[in-house]
Structure 1
Amino acid sequence: MQYGLRRLPLEGLVNARDLGGFPTKDGKMTRYGAAVRSEAPRSITEKDIEALKAYGIKTVIDLRGAEEIERHPSLLCGDESIDYHCCPAFDESVAFAARGKIPFTENFDMAAKYIEMAERRKSWVCNVMTVIAGSEGGVLFNCAMGKDRTGIIAALLLGHAGAYEVDIVADYSVSDQYLAPVYERIFESMRRDMSEREIEKYLPFFLTPPDNMRRLLKHLKDTYGGVTEYLRGCGLGEDTLSRLRAHMIAE
């Protein structure tokens, strides 16, 4: 794989993309190869693994919980050339989903869940960002589908790097496009027991509308003054914040 591609052409990952190539407010650019986001690498091929290592991935951060990992192990775990970290977000709704029991309510609000996670999982955010700041080479971070927990971490990385909100939101929302084939298989299975109208009620749990990310970013700005200030509130020191930004910014 070559640098300069946003979506990575891998056989076993459909939602893998590089966070490089975004302009920053101080006139710089996020660095290709620094951070890659994806869904769980549970179906990647040997060719994919070699491609990721050749791309410079040396650290993998799995944001899933223990039960999810046990059910669908990461095929990047155990490779001696990769520094693998398990940093679970420990979100109860995700734990339910891992057991096939989506905690659905009529007015399910994913953006509110993101805000709740940002407020209640600050130690998790601190742990993940500390690993990234201290990493050598490229970092791949993933959750199950690569959209919610992964989307939060991606937004924080890009926000701290100084990327524009419009680009952060666009990076988040493109998961719908990349995951469309996966969604179709899920919905086809759901159609065996549900009507289309019933399935529509579950869409907020799956989809990544731009407003979800806009609301999270607005909350961070209104409450803390911005992403970097929020990260300070999570316990990240100035040295770690500097290393984190240096990791993300192209020379």
Structure 2
Amino acid sequence: MQQTLTLDQAEPNLAPVNLRDLGGLPVDGGVTRSGVLLRSDDVSVMPAAFAQQMIDDGVRSVIDLRSPEEALLTGRGPLTLPGVNYHHLALTASVSVPENISRELMSASATPELVGAWYADLVESQARQLAVGVTLVAMNDGATVFHCAAGKDRTGVFAAVVLSLLGAATETISADYAATASRLPRLYPRLRAILGQLIPETQLTAGQDQGAMMGAHAASMDAMQRILVERHGSVAEPIRRAGLSDSVIALLRGRLVDAHD
């Protein structure tokens, strides 16, 4: 049986490097409010002092988008104090992409169009999980941090859904996704330290041209949005069909949007 990796076993100073606030982004009728919703790479092995600072800054809910095997490996981590709620909403069954397309996606010839198509499929297949996650954000009294391993793919999809529901432009959503690109040189060494038991070394080599899947290209998120609009009329429509109500969307706007004067 796979054992959980304790913080004592993890390498020191593994503070998140792709943690950022979703505040200040232009959306329909205003801008997103700062200090309410944060996206991140893996928070499960952060130093205890870093976790305490996040709690002191108002984090009251963690949405974990990692696969069951990832969550088993490192556990929930130090964001465990009373009053901090933890929700595991796995968007993939394993740490890698689905087996039937993994070789193509992970190849050096993988294109942003292919990555975007996988993201669109993820929105469709995990629409119920995404609807639950959006509901949790809307109903949380404090700040929420959502994360996967790198804070890029599954986290990027969740962020895109939330921003789409708030009426963000395609360019805004893609730019938020692409902001990860500048963090990749620091991100991949961190992933090697955390997920070295689960992911081949060749998939986590910073600076090596491994195709669009290992990067963070705005064109990948552009493709996801275009595909979902073509199939459903909007990025958010699959989430609405999965049960997300207008009342919850209104709560989400109330939580996340500072209206223009």
TM-score normalised by L of structure 1: 0.81
Residue of 65, 69, 72 corresponding to 1:70:
72
Find the counterpart in structure 2 of residue 12 from structure 1: 15
Pairing of 1:33-72 with structure 2 (within 5 A):
33-72=35-74
Deviation at 1:192, TM superposition (A): 8.5
Partner of 2:157: 152
- Could you tell me which residue of structure 1 aligns to residue 250 of structure 2? 242
What is the match of residue 25 of structure 1?
Answer: 28
Letter of the 1:165 partner, please give it.
T
Equivalent position of 1:82 in the other structure:
84
Q: Which has the larger displacement, 50-59 or 104-113?
A: 104-113
Q: In structure 2, how many angstroms separate the alpha carbons of the residues matched to 1:46 and 1:167?
A: 33
Give SS of 1:141's match. strand
Contact 1:76/1:82 (<8 A) preserved:
no
Listed one character per residue, the Cα deviations across residues 56-93 of structure 1 (whole Å, up to 9, x for unaligned) are 11000001122101112231453212011111113456
Shift of the 88–135 alpha-carbon distance from structure 1 to 2, 3 Å rule, reads same
Contact 2:17-2:183 at 8 Å conserved across structures: yes
Alignment of 1:199-210 (within 5 A): 200=209, 202-210=210-218
One-letter identity of the residue aligned with 1:116: D
Aligned to 1:3: none
Aligned length: 232
Task: Return 226-235 or 116-125, whichever deviates more.
Answer: 226-235
- Alpha-carbon deviation of 1:177? 0.8
Quote the offset at 1:140 in angstroms: 0.3
Q: Helix, strand or coil: the match of 2:32?
A: coil
Identify the residue that residue 219 of structure 1 maps to in structure 2: 227
Q: 1:93 to 1:74 in 2, by over 3 A?
A: closer
Contact 1:172 / 1:210 at 8 angstroms: preserved in 2?
yes
Whether contact under 8 Å (2:150, 2:191) holds in the other structure is no
Q: Which residue of 2 aligns with 1:4?
A: none
What CA deviation, in whole Å up to 9, does each residue of 1:181-237 have, x standing for no partner?
2336779x999989x9xx53x333321111110011112222332234343122211
- Find out whether 1:233 has 2:241 as its counterpart: yes
Equivalent AA in structure 2 for residue 173 of structure 1: A
Using the alignment, how far apart are the partners of 2:152 and 2:214 within structure 1?
9
Relative to structure 1, the CA distance from residue 80 to residue 204 in structure 2 (aligned partners, 3 Å threshold; closer, same or farther) is: same
Tell me how far apart the structure 2 counterparts of residues 231 and 128 of structure 1 sit (CA, whole Å).
10
CA contact (8 A) 1:93 1:103 kept: no
Contact 2:47–2:78 at 8 Å: present in 1 too? no
Q: 1:68 touches 1:95 (CA, 8 Å); kept in 2?
A: no
Aligned-CA RMSD value: 2.9
Look up the SS of the partner of 1:174 in the other structure: helix
TM-score, length of structure 2 as denominator length: 0.78
Structure 2 residue matching 1:103: 3-state secondary structure:
helix
Structure 1 runs (4+) greater than 4 angstroms displaced: 184-187, 189-194
Paired residue for 1:112, among 90, 114, 117?
117
Task: Check whether the contact 1:59–1:138 (CA below 8 A) recurs between aligned residues.
Answer: yes
Unaligned runs of 5+ in 1: 1-9
Partner of 2:4: none
Structure 2 residue runs of 5 or longer lacking an equivalent are: 1-12
Say which of 139, 143, 156 aligns to 1:138: 143
**Distance across 2 between alignment mates of 1:111 and 1:85:** 26
SS of the aligned residue for 2:229 comes to helix
